Amino acid sequence: MKRFAKSLVVGMLLVCTTLAMVGCGAKKQTATCTIEQDGMKIEMVLDAEGDKIMKLTQTSTVSLEGVAEEQVAALDENIAQIKEQYEAIDGVKYNFEKSDKELKEIVEIDTSNKDTLKAAIESELLPVEGNQSSLSLKATKESMADLGWTVK
């Protein structure tokens, strides 16, 4: 139950741990980082211009196979709290889908907006140290690969 919520936070932490200044180029590029652990698959799509991540989209999918109804109910409560936190920030979109087989959470953060990024950091939804004004694509990809994520 809490492992699911913690895994989501850890995923966001991993994306945001390494930050750098924005590169000079404005070339649009996308990187996709994926990892599977404890029955959960997390995919992060990083849309960038130059080295600056403009949008981060995280999709977390959890299989409900073998999960008790009480555990699903507890997850639902956690998700409601998480949704409220994300939706309180302008520039963040949150979607949650539930079927008999899986739970899917989709979080989209407009990291190009300094106010959105600042609010996400201050509310600890993006656990980043310091006052960052942007996220580095290169540094994030390197960090994710070092932590065992598949980066494409």
Higher pLDDT, 48 or 126: 48
On the question of pLDDT at 15 being above 90, the answer is: no
Q: Does domain 2-18+29-151 have CATH number 3.40.50.12160?
A: no
Spatial strand order in the sheet of 92-98: 92-98, 102-110, 52-63, 40-49, 28-37, 150-151
pLDDT in tens, 90-106: 999 999 999 989 999 99
The whole-model pTM stands at: 0.78
